[in-house]
Amino acid sequence: MTERTNGYYAPLVHVADAQDEGRMLRDVLRHRLGVSRRLWVRLKTTEAGVTINGEKAYSSARLAVGDRIELRMPEEESEDILPQPMALDIAFEDEHLLVLNKPAGLIVHPTTGHYANTLANGVVHYWRERGERCRFRPVHRLDEDTSGLVVVAKHPYAHQQLSVQMMAGGIEKKYRAYVYGHPPAARGEVDAPIGRVPEDPHRRAVLPDGQPSLTYYEVARPYACGASALDVRLGTGRTHQIRVHLGSVGCPLIGDGYYADPDWARTALADRLAGVIGRQALHAALLAFRHPVTDEPLTLVASLPYDLRALEAALERLPAGLGL
């Protein structure tokens, strides 16, 4: 449970060392602790937001070795999210982070017209039952029908630090994907820009004027029936990136109705797999990053859910020659 102190999260503590001697507080906060300008504004306008040796501190204060700097962020709640009891598969939790293994069929955050039965509703209920006051801050999201690991920050500093890591490519994400066909090489990359389809703003495609997008893949297992299991890593994080990139090289995700390939949909393989899985065969299996507060490396793994294990078994049993 997150430690609470008079309406604040537990303080983040930094003890000044020789590197900090004589430097101004604002420089140490920015360059050593990575506190953004936006977060600094929030902290300094709070009575107990930043203290040195227990006294309210100002940005121009000069530090001496041994000074104890404490940052205190006011507790927040997602008051616009309806708490709902929900079974949660928690992969990791401490006072700064919550990492969950999201099932397929669950939206991460409420959207217009969809205010209930999301992961956020379940997490808010879970926190309230434990007496925690935290705002729901997902560091990244997964599509509704993609299963796997999602990181939620419990306070602004954790969210900021993980967002910086993500923008710098410091968060490793590995997915398991099951696709029709075999990619052009056992290991490779898809480097192709992705943009919105003008006729359907929810749909993405490889377009010349799209955003630069990079996906790495490795064949984990080729199946004789004409399908493949791939391990996929993201070089960028565009909406529907894996689904679009793999489809662009002739390997659409099995079960993906939205990005279905008409040629594959007419094959004997697609016919034999009908009813085996009812969503895109994509699972966020691994996340590796540095803890936003302790800087310790974290590697989290989520095992395959039942429907993907059933798909694996079906692909292993099917005979050769069912694909294109």
**Boundary (domain end) residue, out of 127, 149, 167:** 167
- pLDDT tens for the chain, residues 1 to 324: 344 556 777 777 888 888 888 888 888 888 887 787 878 777 777 777 888 888 887 878 888 888 888 887 777 777 788 999 999 999 999 989 999 999 999 999 888 878 899 999 999 999 999 888 888 999 998 999 999 999 999 988 898 889 888 888 889 999 999 999 999 899 999 999 999 999 998 899 999 999 999 999 999 999 999 999 999 999 988 999 999 999 999 999 999 999 999 999 999 999 999 989 999 999 999 999 999 988 899 999 999 999 999 999 999 999 998 877
**Boundary (domain end) residue, out of 121, 149, 167:** 167
Considering the domain architecture, whether residues 212 and 95 belong to the same structural domain is answered as: no
Considering the domain architecture, whether residues 108 and 226 belong to the same structural domain is answered as: no
Considering the domain architecture, whether residues 283 and 245 belong to the same structural domain is answered as: yes
Considering the domain architecture, whether residues 14 and 97 belong to the same structural domain is answered as: no
Residues involved in catalysis: 143
Q: What CATH number did the domain enclosing 204 receive?
A: 3.30.2350.10
Domain contains 204: yes
Domain contains 76: no
Considering the domain architecture, whether residues 130 and 260 belong to the same structural domain is answered as: no
Considering the domain architecture, whether residues 13 and 120 belong to the same structural domain is answered as: no
Considering the domain architecture, whether residues 311 and 176 belong to the same structural domain is answered as: yes
Domain contains 234: yes
Domain contains 82: no
- Cβ neighbours of residue 223 closer than 8 Å, sequence gap 6 or more: 229, 315, 316, 318
Q: What is the pTM of this model?
A: 0.86
Residue 6, pLDDT score: 65
Considering the domain architecture, whether residues 307 and 177 belong to the same structural domain is answered as: yes
Domain contains 323: no
**Boundary (domain end) residue, out of 167, 198, 227:** 167
Residue 1, pLDDT score: 39
Considering the domain architecture, whether residues 136 and 267 belong to the same structural domain is answered as: no
Q: In terms of residue numbers, what domain contains 202?
A: 172-317
Considering the domain architecture, whether residues 178 and 302 belong to the same structural domain is answered as: yes
Domain contains 78: no
Domains of the chain: total: 3
Domain contains 119: yes
Considering the domain architecture, whether residues 276 and 152 belong to the same structural domain is answered as: no
Asked whether 261 and 252 are in contact (CB, 8 A), the reply is yes
Residue 94, pLDDT score: 92
Considering the domain architecture, whether residues 111 and 193 belong to the same structural domain is answered as: no
Domain contains 214: yes
- 110's tokens: 């409420």
Q: What CATH number did the domain enclosing 37 receive?
A: 3.10.290.10
